[in-house]
Structure 1
Amino acid sequence: MITITSHIHSTRIGPLGLIELRRPTSINALTFSMLQELTRVFTTWRNDPAISMVVLRGSGERGFCAGGDIKDFHAAVSGGGHAEFLALLSLEFDLNEMIATYPKPVLTLVHGLCMGGGIGLASHASIRVTTPEASYAMPETRIGYSPDVGGTHLLARAPGHLGEYLALTASTFTGTDAVELGFADMLVDPTRFAELLDSLDDFIAMPAAEIAAGIEVLFGSFAPSPLASARPWIDAAFSAPDLPGILDRLDEMVHPAAAQTAAAIRANAPTSLAGALAAVRAARAEDHLRSALDRELRLADYLMHRPDLAEGIRAQVIDKDRNPRWNPARFDEVDTAAIAGLIEGPA
């Protein structure tokens, strides 16, 4: 049985359920209808005794998934569609949690670009395969937003203070870094993806951990993580108690990457930076995906009603002048009390 709906292709091959994102011209960027169909398929297969494992991958050479459709986001926040877009995010976050708690093994195959919502689909699965050359990012603070789709939960669990570094700088990282950070489990050359899929019949009856171990033995490779080698200076700076302290430490460092890192942070939206830092640290203290998702949804609702999000998308995606005018423009003008209330949540 094959179903093709809203750029989602799902099919069964014996006990294996295969889902493919099929919007390659947009690097499989997610729309509301795609999220609805993904939710429907995962829900149906969860209770189908004929399905023992689910595989999720993206079509096209450019990548697994570029995240949510950023132009749809801009249209929503610019045209009064805040409630509708918040409903989309709620649906997406529930799907992320479903994947994370799925009662059957979920295998994700990441190649090329994997950003934002793509990470939400790929990195909460029980078996996460990526390629060394894959390019991951949680670039939200660059557009006046904050990491979501459980991204703060993932960043909080990364070694040391790499999570704060990635949230505040909006930097990209490689597939090898993704394994180091805990966003993926193993590296596999993309030319072996077809062979890997053909081998899954041998693993169908096994628990997810054993399937992952078997795949890594047969197909896994190793490459050093650039971020792992940078941890000493990153931890030294990003362990500071607050954003001004992090910037002060970077400004005082003689490490060649410190000045560039500080400049990258200062280019991002001050309100988003405050929210992202607080959300990552709250997720580290709590270490519960659902709590992180609920916190991210509160932040999303707050940020999409502020001018920075529409302005950031305009500057980075629409006009591409790369010169956003943040409001407020200074870190000391951010409403930190409002951010703290969102992080803490309802009493």
Structure 2
Amino acid sequence: MTDTEAATVLVRTDSSLGRITLNRPRAINALDLGMIEQITAALTAWVDDTDVQTVLIDGAGDRGLCAGGDVRALYDSITAGHPDHIAEFFRAEYAMNALIAEYPKPIVVFADGITMGGGIGLAGHAAVRIVTERSRLAMPETRIGFTPDVGGTWLLGRAPGRLGEYFGLTGQSMSAADALYLGFADHHVPSENLDGLRDALATRADPGTPNELTLLFDETPEPSQLPAARVWIDEAFSADTVGEIMQRLRESDAQDAATALATLEELSPTALAVTLDAVREARTMSGVREALEGEYRRVMWFGHSHPDLVEGIRAQLVDKDRNPKWQPATVADLPPDAGAPARAYVPEPALF
């Protein structure tokens, strides 16, 4: 195995372009703590490096930028009786997310292929966010009894209408056109043009900004179906509680409403309630950093206080029986304001 094959993050410069490539293609570049630390170290070093004018983040292989974080390691920490270990991972990851959001130089990210969970934390807060015809973006945390994080609630809270609630609760994936409409991306560049754009970012001085350069390669994708779907999505997902959302979906004549209802009925009721609360709280917040603090409260609450996270990972990734036993089992069994305990949780140590 060569050094390049062994390194999980490739860091180098090309003219004035600082390049960070996630290099775990067999795991669709899923993030572990070591990768997060390497990315953070590179970004931190380049802040004051006058030779680096722009940063590009991409992923090795053709399957995706990043499939998310290493949730199996999260499961192992909790089941081994070390829930405090999860704070180390999340504090490092969220500090990286905040660094990307607040970075003083343009960061360009290729969200090509699968970009989910932790991948959204890398791509969603960058200055120039690029999707391709292969892109599939999602915040699928409710599928494992968890809640969107990495600043995802900030993005969901600013999506048009009630699409933030819809995508946050269902974990549904977005196409390139969907991501552009939702505000998760800025440009659609065909995957065959990415190499040309990489070269232009490193070598071309005109036009002068990464955003203007990207426009030279930008092509309009097929239109998203979301504007039309907002009729039933906004009606259902504007309800006050998860139970009321599900009731409105039952009463809807839209065919896709039945699909959304079937999805919600399979997921952790607690995760749904916490996620609904988180997206709506983030809608009132001032920026990514504040949203990360709200997410940190909730993820640490799950890690320390609620069994559905461990059960969801077990069912999906460990035993793979796809038969989680949620507590409580149904939305009807949720207490009033079921998101309150996670919202009010005070984690130690503090995030920032």
Do both proteins adopt the same fold according to a TM-score greater than 0.5, normalized to the shorter chain?
yes
Q: Name the SS of the counterpart of 1:322 in structure 2.
A: coil
Tell me how far apart the structure 1 counterparts of residues 5 and 53 of structure 2 sit (CA, whole Å).
Answer: 21
Q: Report the counterpart of residue 334 of structure 2 in structure 1.
A: 334
1:66–1:117 CA contact under 8 A, matched in 2:
yes
Tell me how far apart the structure 2 counterparts of residues 201 and 41 of structure 1 sit (CA, whole Å).
Answer: 17
Q: Report the counterpart of residue 25 of structure 2 in structure 1.
A: 24
Q: Does 1:65 align with 2:79?
A: no
User: What is the letter of the counterpart of residue 296 of structure 1?
Assistant: E
TM-fit CA distance, 1:133: 2.4
Residues 119-158 of structure 1 aligned to structure 2 (within 5 Å):
119-158=120-159
| C-alpha distance 139-231 of structure 1, shift in aligned 2 (>3 A) | same
User: How big is each residue's C-alpha offset from its partner over 1:305-335, in whole Å with a ceiling of 9 and x where there is no partner?
Assistant: 3211111111111222211100111224335
TM-fit CA distance, 1:345: 6.3
Tell me how far apart the structure 2 counterparts of residues 101 and 36 of structure 1 sit (CA, whole Å).
Answer: 17
Q: Name the SS of the counterpart of 2:13 in structure 1.
A: strand
Q: Report the counterpart of residue 309 of structure 2 in structure 1.
A: 309
User: What is the letter of the counterpart of residue 35 of structure 2?
Assistant: M
Q: Report the counterpart of residue 273 of structure 1 in structure 2.
A: 272
Q: Report the counterpart of residue 101 of structure 2 in structure 1.
A: 100
TM-fit CA distance, 1:66: 0.5
Tell me how far apart the structure 1 counterparts of residues 126 and 90 of structure 2 sit (CA, whole Å).
Answer: 19
Q: Report the counterpart of residue 282 of structure 1 in structure 2.
A: 281
Tell me how far apart the structure 2 counterparts of residues 267 and 107 of structure 1 sit (CA, whole Å).
Answer: 37
Residues 234-313 of structure 1 aligned to structure 2 (within 5 Å):
234-305=233-304, 306-313=306-313
User: How big is each residue's C-alpha offset from its partner over 1:68-99, in whole Å with a ceiling of 9 and x where there is no partner?
Assistant: 01221221221123111121111101100100
| Percent identity (aligned) | 41
User: What is the letter of the counterpart of residue 295 of structure 1?
Assistant: G
Q: Give the structure-1-normalised TM-score.
A: 0.93
Tell me how far apart the structure 2 counterparts of residues 345 and 308 of structure 1 sit (CA, whole Å).
Answer: 17
Q: Name the SS of the counterpart of 1:18 in structure 2.
A: strand
User: What is the letter of the counterpart of residue 312 of structure 2?
Assistant: G
| C-alpha distance 3-124 of structure 1, shift in aligned 2 (>3 A) | farther
Tell me how far apart the structure 1 counterparts of residues 87 and 165 of structure 2 sit (CA, whole Å).
Answer: 25
User: How big is each residue's C-alpha offset from its partner over 1:145-173, in whole Å with a ceiling of 9 and x where there is no partner?
Assistant: 10000011110011110010011111111
More divergent stretch after superposition (232-241 vs 272-281): 232-241
Tell me how far apart the structure 1 counterparts of residues 188 and 137 of structure 2 sit (CA, whole Å).
Answer: 14
| C-alpha distance 164-86 of structure 1, shift in aligned 2 (>3 A) | same
2:193–2:217 CA contact under 8 A, matched in 1:
no
User: How big is each residue's C-alpha offset from its partner over 1:56-75, in whole Å with a ceiling of 9 and x where there is no partner?
Assistant: 00001111101101221221
More divergent stretch after superposition (2-11 vs 316-325): 2-11
| Aligned-residue RMSD, C-alpha | 2.0
Q: Does 1:225 align with 2:224?
A: yes
Q: Name the SS of the counterpart of 1:191 in structure 2.
A: helix
Q: Does 1:84 align with 2:85?
A: yes
| C-alpha distance 5-15 of structure 1, shift in aligned 2 (>3 A) | farther
Tell me how far apart the structure 2 counterparts of residues 185 and 265 of structure 1 sit (CA, whole Å).
Answer: 29
More divergent stretch after superposition (220-229 vs 21-30): 220-229
Q: Which runs of 5+ in 1 are unaligned?
A: none
Q: Give the structure-2-normalised TM-score.
A: 0.92
| C-alpha distance 57-204 of structure 1, shift in aligned 2 (>3 A) | farther
| C-alpha distance 183-22 of structure 1, shift in aligned 2 (>3 A) | same
1:155–1:163 CA contact under 8 A, matched in 2:
yes
| C-alpha distance 270-81 of structure 1, shift in aligned 2 (>3 A) | same
Question: Number of residue pairs matched?
Answer: 343
Structure 1's consecutive aligned runs of 4 or more residues displaced over 4 angstroms after TM superposition are 2-6, 201-207, 335-338
Q: Which runs of 5+ in 2 are unaligned?
A: 347-352
Q: Does 1:175 align with 2:176?
A: yes
| C-alpha distance 341-75 of structure 1, shift in aligned 2 (>3 A) | closer
Q: Report the counterpart of residue 190 of structure 2 in structure 1.
A: 189
2:201–2:213 CA contact under 8 A, matched in 1:
no
User: How big is each residue's C-alpha offset from its partner over 1:279-302, in whole Å with a ceiling of 9 and x where there is no partner?
Assistant: 000011224211110111110011
Q: Name the SS of the counterpart of 1:324 in structure 2.
A: coil
TM-fit CA distance, 1:205: 8.5
2:25–2:63 CA contact under 8 A, matched in 1:
yes
User: How big is each residue's C-alpha offset from its partner over 1:28-55, in whole Å with a ceiling of 9 and x where there is no partner?
Assistant: 0001111111111111011111110000
Tell me how far apart the structure 1 counterparts of residues 81 and 177 of structure 2 sit (CA, whole Å).
Answer: 41
TM-fit CA distance, 1:212: 1.5
More divergent stretch after superposition (49-58 vs 312-321): 312-321
Q: Name the SS of the counterpart of 2:255 in structure 1.
A: coil
Tell me how far apart the structure 2 counterparts of residues 141 and 336 of structure 1 sit (CA, whole Å).
Answer: 20
